[in-house]
Amino acid sequence: MNLRGLLQMGLGWVIAFSAHAHGDASGAHAGHGSHAARPQLATGAAFAPDGSLWVVGLNEQLQLFVQNTSPSSLTDWSAPKILDTQADAISADGENRPKIAFGPNHWVVISYTKPLAKPYTGFIRMLRSEDGGKTFSQPFTVHRDKQEITHRFESIAFDPKGNLHTLWIDKRDQPAKNSGKTYVGAAVYRNVSTDGGKTFGQDLKVADHSCECCRIALAFDRQGELQALWRHVFGEQTRDHAFAHVMSSQPNQISRASFDDWQINACPHHGPGLASNMADGVQTGYHVVWFGIRQINGEALAAVRYGQLNNEGQPIEQSLRVLPDARAEHADVMADGKKVAIVWRSTEGASTQLKAWLSTDAGQSFELKDLSQAQGYNDHPRLVQSKDRMVVVWRTMSGVQVHALAF
3-state secondary structure of 180: coil
d(CA 232, CA 245): 15
pLDDT for the residue 79:
95
Give percent of the chain above pLDDT 90: 83
- The closest alpha carbon to 283, from 335, 358, 247, belongs to 335
Query: CB of 295 within 8 A of CB of 261?
Result: yes
pTM, entire model? 0.91
Query: CB of 272 within 8 A of CB of 315?
Result: no
d(CA 297, CA 140): 52
pLDDT for the residue 191:
98
Low-confidence ranges of the chain (pLDDT < 70): 1-36
What is the β-pairing status of strands 140-141 and 151-158?
A: unpaired
pLDDT for the residue 249:
81
Query: CB of 342 within 8 A of CB of 306?
Result: yes
What is the β-pairing status of strands 186-193 and 238-245?
A: unpaired
4-404 CATH = 2.130.10.10
For 102, phi then psi, to 5°, come to: -110, 135
pLDDT digits (tens, 9 = 90+) for 152-210: 999 999 999 999 999 999 999 999 888 889 999 999 999 999 999 999 999 999 999 99
**What are the Cα distances from residue 278, in Å, to 281, 282, 311, 356?**
5, 5, 11, 21
DSSP 263: B
pLDDT for the residue 24:
43
pLDDT for the residue 95:
92
pLDDT digits (tens, 9 = 90+) for 385-403: 998 899 999 999 999 999 9
